[in-house]
Amino acid sequence: MKLATLFLAAALASPLARAAQSPDEAARFLAGLPVREADLAALEAQPAWAAHADRLDRSWTRMDQRQLVKVRAWAAATIPEANRSTAAVFYFFSGPDFLYAQTFFPNSADYILCGTEPVGTVPDLALMPPAAMEADLENLRHSLETMLTTHYFITKDMRVDLTRGQVGGTLPILYVFLARTGCTIRGVTVGAGSVQIDFTGPAGQRQTLHYFKTDLSNGGGNAAFLGFCKKHAPGLSLVKSASYLLHGDSFSTARNFLLANSRVLIQDDSGIPLRAFDPRLWTLRFCGNYEGPIELFKEHYQPDLAAAYQRSNPAALGFAFGYAWQPAKGALLVATPR
């Protein structure tokens, strides 16, 4: 065999000559779903992946039946125009929670998420050593555990969970949520502190997910992020489990942006305080049962919100929302500009 032929054969056999994994296949693999690419499909036979898929399947099914089925039904019945709208979604303080943005607003053209968590990376999974793969899959499940058990992430836990191993940051969690909600990733563009994921939604529509690592406090260097949001305004806004940051003066810029640029705003009591909504400018609908904040945030109890709930006496929401994990305590506010 000629020397050039030998070099060619060696190059084709080298891992460096492999076609790079597609983001969609990587997402499906991390989500515990079957893949087509030969290199990743071979890894599905390993006990670590099989255990990962089984555990994630069971956790996801329980969460979907307990939460998402009911959220979808509520959104379709209660906010039908917003539910069908293709307007952009603004989800401040979301972290990697694409899940609820897509569940409330399934038809949006753009989902704009942000948090202080890093974008992170998803390496070529087929080249990872088996022990590292097993550890990273376990850590990924741990990162998702609170969200799948309650319906929100705990920021301080994410700071630890998302920096372990080679599969880290928000990107692998976004991948899992996209794959598990029936989306197909077409392309991924990672920038400086941001990522854009172009995908096809479950109904076949082309959509885009944007995640930005940014500090939303006044003076937090978020002008470029808010400028990006402004280009997509007015949008459909969602605030959930936001640590009551929008109650304080140090987040007034973010609060004012949402008040000025929302076609509809869905939030729990940790979002914009009731006192900030001018009744001449907003129509407010109270849903669920407001019992006040959990003990950790008890200083943010809103007597005016409690009185508004008592006057309106809304029906039970049927799913958990906010920091209380019990469905009977779920409460949210739907605010629409007049």
Q: Are strands 282-288 and 331-337 parallel, antiparallel or unpaired?
A: antiparallel
Looking at the 3D structure of the chain, how many domains does it have?
Answer: 1
Q: Quick check: is 69 in a domain?
A: yes
- Name 281's Cβ contacts closer than 8 Å, sequence gap at least 6: 337, 338
130 within domain boundaries: yes
pLDDT at 12 over 60: no
Neighbour-count burial of 118, counting CB atoms closer than 10 A to its CB (0-12 exposed, 13-18 middle, 19+ buried): middle
Question: CB–CB of 44/50 below 8 Å?
Answer: yes
Domain span holding position 120: 20-264
Q: Which two tokens stand for residue 256?
A: 């004012």
Confidence of residue 159 (pLDDT cuts 50, 70, 90): low
Asked if the structure places residue 68 within a domain, the reply is yes
Laid out side by side, the sheet with 184-191 consists of: 184-191, 194-200, 206-213, 110-115, 89-91, 235-239, 262-267, 331-337, 282-288
Q: Can you tell me which residue has the tokens 């948090």?
A: 115
Residue with the bigger pLDDT between 280 and 4: it is 280
pLDDT cut 90: percent of the chain above it: 85
Summarize pLDDT for 172-204 with one digit per residue, the tens. 999 999 999 999 999 999 999 999 999 999 999
Whether residue 163 is contained in a domain is answered as yes
- CA 218 from centre of chain: 23
- Beta-strand pair 331-337/194-200: unpaired
Domain contains 250: yes
Q: What single-letter amino acid sits at 169?
A: G
- Tell me the pLDDT tens digit for each residue of 264-288: 999 999 999 999 999 999 999 999 9
pLDDT of residue 146: 85
Does pLDDT of 17 surpass 70? no
Picking from 297, 323, 300, the residue whose alpha carbon sits closest to that of residue 247 is 300
Q: Please report whether residue 120 resides in a domain.
A: yes
DSSP bridge pairs for 283: 336
Can you count the helices (H) and strands (E) in the chain? 13, 9
Q: What is the pLDDT of residues 86-141, one digit of tens each?
A: 999 999 999 999 999 999 999 999 999 999 999 999 999 999 999 999 999 999 99
For residue 1, pLDDT over 50 is answered with no
Question: Could you tell me if residue 255 is inside a domain?
Answer: yes
Alpha carbon distance 270, 248 (integer Å):
11
Question: What pLDDT is stored for residue 322 in this prediction?
Answer: 87
pLDDT tens digits, residue range 129-141?
A: 999 999 999 999 9
The closest alpha carbon to 264, from 113, 68, 83, 103, belongs to: 83
Distance between the two ends of the chain, CA-based, in angstroms? 79
Residue 140 falls inside a structural domain? yes
* Burial zone of 58 (CB within 10 Å; 0-12 exposed, 13-18 middle, 19+ buried): exposed
Q: Where are the beta strands (DSSP E) in 167-257?
A: 184-191, 194-200, 206-213, 235-239
